[in-house]
Amino acid sequence: MILVLDFGSQYTQLIARRLRESGIYAEIVPFFESIENIQKKAPKGLILSGGPASVYAKDAYKPNGKIFDLNVPILGICYGMQYLVDFFGGVVAYANEQEFGKAVLEITQDSVIFEGVKIKSLVWMSHMDKVIELPKGFTTLAKSPNSPHCAIENGKIFGLQFHPEVIQSEEGGKILENFALLVCGCEKTWGMQHFAQREMARLKEKIANAKVLCAVSGGVDSTVVATLLHRAIKDNLIAIFVDHGLLRKNEKERVQAMFKDLQIPLNTIDAKEIFLSKLKGVSEPELKRKIIGETFIEVFEKEAKKHHLKGKIEFLAQGTLYPDVIESVSVKGPSKVIKTHHNVGGLPEWMDFKLIEPLRELFKDEVRLLGKELGVSQDFLMRHPFPGPGLAIRILGEVSESKIKRLQEADFIFIEELKKANLYDKVWQAFCVLLNVSSVGVMGDNRTYENAICLRAVNASDGMTASFSFLEHSFLEKVSNRITNEVSGINRVVYDITSKPPGTIEWE
């Protein structure tokens, strides 16, 4: 593997993702990771990420200098390069002319790391400091208009002032590949077929004949977890699906049909009445979320207890992903509070389970690839994100059964039309919001005073930021006509053109 030491860059996860996409396994650890732990992982090479600090600052992040005694190749990126220069006696200083965004990289010296790379290419810069003087033994490999030492080398130690991990760096993927394959001697052995085989064998050995409880939300992560576990332990998996009545149209039937196709027994709990009764009269968004989370635990606990009494359950499975693991340890030190996973929340004391997290090494796109490897339908795997509280946070104000039905119908029409127009896969997330607003309309020469639906469609890569989708007016007109004609109680349709920030993707 390649081990990435994180110094706080917003791009650190992209380093690991780029390498994995090339078939090279990579892990991320904080910059202060102990030498003992690094040695246990036995990496073929180290990458020092970028970071927001200045290497000459009093509180600058610096790893244990013994990493240079490990005798493995090292690549420093941005701050990582500046750390290498500072450590070996060079000079890094505040730059009068700083570089942010695209710049032209010009290779001035042949090197194995630039094997097959164009002499001139666009790269992504994000730095306020620059290298003024190289340490002894280092050679300049490339320059940019404002960085005379844009890439450097000293034997098996390399530095890049730009960010090869972002897609804006044209040759970035090739450069990272060259470091891993040609410098470190890695092989392209990482892939979902290999992961699935290895993980199923590991789960089978760890679980043996015990029972595993898995909460299924109908989302991609929990479905892939359940599928992987069932392949490994068959009927020792107890999958529980709680229908809180806040799902999309036909969602329960679709999940049940999919699990039947996958030949995985599914325990479906119809808890619609419980959830709706507790949400009655509640309009504040955070309170709605809290009630749904607590009620889920209550229903899940009651069902789990039935199975627990029938036969000892030893394990609880969760769909924790690698970004969750990374975020639980910041570059400033171990986080005091680990985030609560939405599908299980806090567990009662009698649930003294051992935790199983089969996806904790994977990114979201890798989970989809694993699901495909396991036979989960592509149509399901590529579905847009859906919030844990469901339609409750897409209904402004109080939730009721009639409002849910109205929203389900409108949302179904919107998604159906997106698929018909081949737009669904081009949009990151799309849905309808039922506004707590009534307006005057005219239908069949009669005055109406009914509700409004808002269409929301955004483009994003990870949901942290998002821009609204530029859907054609003719398409929006078609959707609007269908909703107002086919959904009772809706006489107006609007389109949300707010990006994130300042807005959020969901309305509540």
Length of the chain: 508
**Can you tell me the distance from the alpha carbon of 357 to that of 222, in angstroms, rounded to the nearest whole number?**
10
Is-contact 367 220, C-beta < 8 A? yes
DSSP codes of every residue in 67-79: GGGS---EEEETH
- Please state, in angstroms and rounded to a whole number, the distance separating the CA atoms of residues 277 and 16: 46
* CB burial string 400-426: b at 16+ within 10 A, e below: eeebbebbbbbbbbbbebbeeeebbee
In the block, tokens 């009651």 appear at: 302
Q: Which of 127, 149, 163, 244 is catalytic?
A: 163
User: Minimal CA–CA distance to 221: which of 140, 327, 145, 318?
Assistant: 318
End-to-end CA distance of the chain: 41
Cα separation, 315 vs 212, whole angstroms: 5
Distance (Å, whole) CA 366 – CA 358: 12
61: exposed, middle or buried (Cβ count in 10 Å: 0-12, 13-18, 19+): buried
Task: Cite the DSSP H helix spans in 25-78.
Answer: 35-41
Q: Which of 234, 159, 152 is nearest to 200 (CA)?
A: 234
Under 8 Å between Cβ of 422 and 416: no
- Of the candidates 87, 99, 201, 173, the one whose C-alpha atom is nearest the C-alpha of residue 138 is 87
Residues 6+ apart with CB under 8 A from 468: 456, 457, 458, 459, 496, 497, 498, 499
| Catalytic option among 33, 78, 127, 153 | 78
Assess whether 78 carries a catalytic annotation: yes
Closest CA to 299 of 366, 258, 246, 338: 246
Query: Residue 468 — left, alpha, or beta (φ > 0 → left; ψ -120 to 50 → alpha)?
Result: beta
Tokens 């600090």, residue located? 53
The catalytically annotated residue of 165, 177, 303, 508 is: 165
DSSP secondary structure of 264-316: --EEEEE-HHHHHHHHTT---HHHHHHHHHHHHHHHHHHHHHHHHHHS-EEEE
The answer to whether residue 165 is catalytic is yes
**Catalytically active residues, by annotation:** 78, 163, 165
